[in-house]
Amino acid sequence: MTTSTTSQDLKDTMWKAADKLRGSMDASQYREIVLGLIFLKYVTDSFAARQAEIRKEGEEDGLSEEDILLDLEDQDAYLEKNIFWVAPNARWSFLQQNSKGLSGENGVEFRSVGKLIDEALEQLMKDNESLVGTLSTGFARDSVDQRRLGELVDMFSQTYFTQDGPERARDLLGEVYEYFLASFARAEGKRGGEFYTPAPVVLTLVEILEPTKGRVYDPCCGSGGMFVQAEKFLAAKHEDPTNISIFGQEFNERTWRLARMNLAIHALGSQGLGDRWQDTFARDIHPGIQMDYVMANPPFNIKDWTRREDDERWTYGVPPVRNANYAWMQHIISKLAPHGEAGVVMANGTMTSKTSGEGEIRKNMLEDDIVSCVLALPSQLFRGTQIPVCVWFFAKDKKAGPKGKSDRTGQVLLIDARELGHMVDRTERTFSDDDIQKIAGTFRAWRGRASAETEYEDVPGFCKSVSIQDIRDADYALTPGRYVGFAEQEQDDEPIADKIERLTQELTKALDESARLDAVVREQMGRLQ
């Protein structure tokens, strides 16, 4: 067996393998097939590694082969190590041996490799309660090329997750899974945004909110990226990941399954996503539960949504029939605990729109002092769309206290980050770590957080702390560029006469060099005649 222990090895090998199915099915089905196989491969690799540990422990204790075999089939020996139990017919070795299908015997019909994979996934969910309803079957559908699927199983067999131990294995799986989610989102263009929020956007939200303890909620959780990044934030701070509880909701069935699988991969409880997909506006599956942190990237400007004018969530005004942007924001605000905070990615129009009562809703939110910050982001952070976006941050309590030593009552921080970031190719922009820390550090300093490294001060062209009165004077428009002004230009101390002389000399030198090169070109052309 060829072993792949580095993240890049696994990514390269598996992406190459996954290409075998590209073009033979639609993108969403292709995504499910590949991610399902990656998960199954990891689960069985981890199971096999635990089996080897159990055998070694038994041999060191002098157990007989018969007793060792009994221990190998003891489910508790796996569950106590947070390893999923994998029945014989669900193990990768069985699938690899039958990658071309299993011939029927004694009247049993032939079963394709897709049928065997479906049976393996169903058995895995049956044997592991936390996986119930998580894994998608359908590998045996007519639309799945069984020959190519068998070849994919053979190629995945050349990868191995667990050579460096279970913790590293889980980290590798998480990295590979997120890499594939991002790659599929890029491949699907605009539709990819339905299940995947770009990493720099998620990182920015997490670094600003700093979710260290309590309930974390996402009402439109996609594939669960906000939750995963919150867990990574805790790990980076050497905090216990069980300090946070996950609560989420997702309307799309396939995306909901992706989220549950993603949380299972990262050892985050998926029970907080409910037992099925559900429309947040039609039915809140977490009624009455107050959240400490909310992070969300709702679908922008959706026109067909479940709306009731008497909904108690509409504290600041009834959202318009043909746009749910302010419905999402008010739903999120309604979920916040007394000291809760939220970050919500929104279309730029929410900062200034006055149509269909949106201006009045924004005014009421600002007058209630629920808005803590508005952050303008650059365009092209979302691959497949040029649309620039902003992030609204809400806080139920802006007074000095557990969330910061600075009393920011009656103030809103406006950050214009449109000039930050760099292009990774001609269609996609990203943030560097320094960009993210510049934004997050500004908010932390403004709030007076313990993690702040500097004292807050307004920076022309980038950030400004604005009073509610200033916002009233601007008719409640919240575009940061309107308030932060222009960046200060570096002072030029060179006397004008000296500058003219220097520039004249530089221009003369450039013209002389141009004339020299022109003569060389003419000479060479003359030799060709």
Whose CA is closest to 417, among 182, 189, 199, 200?
A: 200
- Poorest-pLDDT segment among 88-97, 175-184, 290-299, 406-415: 175-184
User: Quick one: pLDDT at residue 281?
Assistant: 95
Mean per-residue pLDDT, 210-233:
91
Locus of tokens 């041996």: 97
Helical (H) or strand (E) element with 430: strand 429-430
Q: Of the spans 89-103, 270-284, 352-366, which averages the highest pLDDT? A: 352-366
Helical (H) or strand (E) element with 442: helix 433-447
Residue 110 has pLDDT above 70, yes or no: yes
pTM score above 0.85? no
- Angle in degrees, CA 485, 489, 491, rounded to 5: 145
Locus of tokens 């269909």: 356
Output the CA torsion 244→247→253→257 (10° steps). 20
Confidence of residue 476 (pLDDT cuts 50, 70, 90): very high
Q: Contact, 134 vs 261, CB < 8 A?
A: yes
Question: Rounded CA gap, 502 and 479, in Å?
Answer: 42
User: How far is residue 64 CA from its own chain's centroid?
Assistant: 49
Q: Does residue 14 or residue 80 have the better pLDDT? A: 80
Strands 389-395 and 371-376: antiparallel
Q: Contact, 403 vs 395, CB < 8 A?
A: yes
Which 8-state DSSP code applies to residue 245? E
For the domain made up of 195-484, the CATH class stated in words is alpha beta
User: Quick one: pLDDT at residue 526?
Assistant: 77
Whose CA is closest to 346, among 285, 390, 399, 296?
A: 390
Residue 7 has pLDDT above 80, yes or no: no
Domain limits, the chain? 7-164, 195-484, 496-521
| Percent of all residues in the chain with a pLDDT value above 90, rounded to a whole number | 51
Q: Contact, 5 vs 158, CB < 8 A?
A: no
Locus of tokens 């500058």: 499
Mean per-residue pLDDT, 139-154:
88
CATH superfamily label, 7-164: N6 adenine-specific DNA methyltransferase, N-terminal domain (1.20.1260.30)
User: Quick one: pLDDT at residue 208?
Assistant: 97
Residue 23 has pLDDT above 80, yes or no: no
Whose CA is closest to 18, among 43, 48, 41?
A: 41
How far CA 287 is from CA of 221, 282, 313, 329, 497, in Å, comes to 17, 12, 11, 16, 73
- Angle in degrees, CA 452, 457, 459, rounded to 5: 115
Residue 90 has pLDDT above 90, yes or no: yes
Instruction: Write the pLDDT tens digit of every residue in 119-138.
Output: 999 999 999 888 888 888 88
Mean per-residue pLDDT, 404-420:
96
Residue 53 has pLDDT above 70, yes or no: yes
- Whole-number mean pLDDT of the chain? 87
Residue 385 has pLDDT above 80, yes or no: no
The beta-strand segments (E) located in 188-329 are 214-218, 244-248, 291-296
- Poorest-pLDDT segment among 95-99, 157-161, 242-246, 435-439: 157-161
Q: Up-side HSE of residue 490: CA atoms within 13 Å toward CB?
A: 3
Question: Rounded CA gap, 239 and 254, in Å?
Answer: 32
Question: Rounded CA gap, 97 and 501, in Å?
Answer: 81
Question: Rounded CA gap, 4 and 11, in Å?
Answer: 9
